Amino acid sequence: MTFPDVAVPRRLALFSLLVPDYDEALAFFLGIGFECREDTDLGGGKRWVRIAPPDGESEILLARAVGGRQRAAIGAQGGGRVWLFLETEDFEADFARMKQRGVHFETEPRDEPYGRVVVWSDPWGNRWDLIQFAKSDRSGTGA
């Protein structure tokens, strides 16, 4: 269904990632090459912390979990599946750099019809793919 002459959002600007501690999460992500785009104190122990890969368009908002329900969801936001996809243009270099910096890789790198990929997890159990897509437009295999 389309609606002519109606403005529609065009991009995912940021999403929240639950973490136990802002500084611990910042240290990890900065250590693997992300950049901190904003770290604003909002008072009461709350901060607005935006991170992203260098030159990345979408950002992650680090959200310190508060209360039992949120703490229980740390590392489980994807329900045990890979749900975060970190795109690279130089798979081998980024894989080697991340491995050298202590990132836990769950699998060995492999080639799939959609690209070169390896599964890794952050310190809180979120599962990620490091991926170099086979096609820059991510159009799949053409089938």
What tens digit of pLDDT does each residue of 38-80 get? 999 999 999 999 999 999 999 999 999 999 999 999 999 999 9
Q: Which two tokens stand for residue 68?
A: 């039992």
Read off the CATH number of the domain in which 122 is found.
3.10.180.10
Residues 2 and 55 placed together within one structural domain of the fold: yes
Residue 129 φ then ψ, to 5°: -110, 135
Residues 87 and 142 placed together within one structural domain of the fold: yes
Residues 66 and 89 placed together within one structural domain of the fold: no
Query: How far apart, in Å, are the Cα atoms of 115 and each of 40, 45, 100, 138?
Result: 37, 41, 23, 9
CA distance 79 to 56: 25
Can you give the residue range of the structural domain that contains 87? 82-143
Match 């250590």 to its residue by tokens: 31
Match 């973490």 to its residue by tokens: 19
Short-list 127, 47, 113, 39, CA closest to 83 = 127
Indicate the average pLDDT of the chain.
93
Residues 2 and 70 placed together within one structural domain of the fold: yes
Residues 30 and 57 placed together within one structural domain of the fold: yes
Residue 116 pLDDT exceeds 90: yes
pTM for this entry: 0.88
Q: Which helix (H) or strand (E) holds 28?
A: helix 22-31
Buried b (16+ CB within 10 A) or exposed e, 15-30: eebbbeebeebbebbe
